[in-house]
Amino acid sequence: MRILAIETSCDETAVAVVREQRHKIIVEASLFSSQIPLHRLTQGVVPEVAARAHTETIIPTIQAVLAQAKVNHGDIDAIAVTRGPGLFTSLMVGVETAKFLAKLWHKPLIPIQHHEGHIYSNFVGKFPISNFQFPMLALIVSGGHTMLVLMKKHLQYKILGATLDDAAGEAFDKTATLLGLSYPGGPEISRLARHGNPHAVPLPRPLLNRPDYNFSFSGLKTAVLYGLQKQKIKKTRNQEIKITRADWAASIQQAIVDVLVAKTMRAAKEYRVKTVLLAGGVAANTSLRETLEKKLKQECPRTKFSKPDLAYTTDNAAMIAAAAVFRYYAGDTCPPETLTADPNLKLASIAKSKKTR
């Protein structure tokens, strides 16, 4: 079974062809056209600029993926697309293109929720699908969302907690801007942090000891802002500043990782999960990957840990195709005429919408 998937929820025009064979999800081609250089000019994504770039690159990217996978439309069994959440005008480019292709080529159309895609990025490439045991706990950490999700079976999600304000990725990006680093800030902080002392700046660990599974990262950004302002004043008075930019980066990363790992560990124990999955752009962070894996090994040795290959942590279309493999077998397809982009689409609402069809 072979799926062509499109992902345009934010700033990457991503297309992939993925084959499911003997319970393995094999990527035949996965390409994206990155808008990062464009958005660096504005230190963030301007929706109109992103949508225009998607419009220009979507067709060439589809053509390139089909050529690289050495397949044509006759070899494709279904078209999958990210329906939401994300920037409405960006999502629309992907959704309208997928609807058009589904109609033109007479293929089933499978809408996918973006975070569901991130969860299923763990299934891309490495394992037979049956290796994953339920219940599973997914920590989704991206630029717009931070969530702990419990799964008792495929495509069923219970959100245990989420961020009350800024997401983890947003905290990396915003504090990176305060440090004068370029967009997107997560990889920059992670790179600098290697040379810094993670205990140099005592930063807050918001909601760490609260019994629920919610997160809050906006206080961290404020603490960094005030800390840097104090340093600036010291500098104007010619006082010695001992904390380097690398120390700031390492301390910020440590504060974020500490909170994410502590809450994930607590949920893993409370719900006695058999698998913990890490997902989303921040899953590329080496410190988070290593700390969570180590803690699980120490404290829950029977729980399996899964992290996506680095290539499938940040937004990509192979993860959308992987989720679509499961939706395809569950019969969750959608008539092209009825599909609309939904910038606020919640995890699990695609499954619910099936009943209303």
Binding residues vs ligand KG4 (CB under 6 A): 10, 142-144, 169, 172-173, 184-187, 190, 280-282, 284-285, 314-315
Longest CA–CA span in the chain (Å) reads: 71
Q: Which is nearer to ligand KG4, 111 or 143 (CB)?
A: 143
Nearest approach, Cβ of 310 to ligand KG4 (angstroms)? Answer: 9
Q: Between residues 196 and 280, which has the closer beta carbon with respect to ligand KG4? A: 280
| Amino acid letter, residue 208 | L
> CB 145 → Zn ion: shortest distance, Å?
8
Hey, how many other C-beta atoms are within 10 angstroms of the C-beta on 26?
14
Comparing CB distances to ligand KG4, the nearer of 120 and 172 is 172
- d(Cα 15, Cα 190) in Å, to the nearest integer? 27
CB of 184 to ligand KG4, least distance (A): 4
Q: Which is nearer to ligand KG4, 131 or 286 (CB)?
A: 286
Beta bridge partners of 3: 18, 78
Amino acid identity at 239: Q
Give me the least distance between CB of 223 and Zn ion, in Å please. Answer: 26
Q: Which is nearer to ligand KG4, 8 or 275 (CB)?
A: 8
Tell me how far apart the alpha carbons of residues 80 and 14 are, in angstroms, rounded to a whole number: 12
Q: Least Å distance between CB 315 and Zn ion?
A: 4
Amino acid found at 135: P
Q: How far apart are CA 269 and CA 261, in angstroms?
A: 12
Residue placing its CB nearer to Zn ion in the complex, 141 or 201: 141
Smallest distance from ligand KG4 to CB 37, Å: 15
Cβ 187 to ligand KG4 shortest distance, Å: 4
Spacing of C-alpha 27 from chain mean position: 18
Task: Pick what 190 binds: Zn ion, ligand KG4, none; C-beta below 5 to 8 Å, kind-dependent.
Answer: ligand KG4
Burial (CB < 10 A; 0-12, 13-18, 19+), residue 209, is exposed
Chain positions contacting Zn ion, by CB under 5 A = 142, 315
Two structure tokens written together for 246: 């690398």
Residue 85 interacting entry, from ligand KG4, Zn ion, none, C-beta within 5 to 8 Å by type:
none
Q: Judged by CB, which is closer to Zn ion: 84, or 108?
A: 84
Q: Which does 206 bind (CB under 5 to 8 A by kind): ligand KG4, Zn ion, none?
A: none
Q: Which does 332 bind (CB under 5 to 8 A by kind): Zn ion, ligand KG4, none?
A: none
Cβ-proximal residues to 84 (8 Å cutoff; 6+ apart), any chain: 9, 91, 113, 114, 341, 342, 343, 344, 345
Least distance to ligand KG4, CB of residue 280, Å: 4
Count CB atoms within 10 A of the CB of residue 52: 16
Nearer to ligand KG4, 172 or 217 (CB): 172
| Least distance from Zn ion to the Cβ atom of residue 85, Å | 9
66 or 288: whose CB is closer to Zn ion? 288
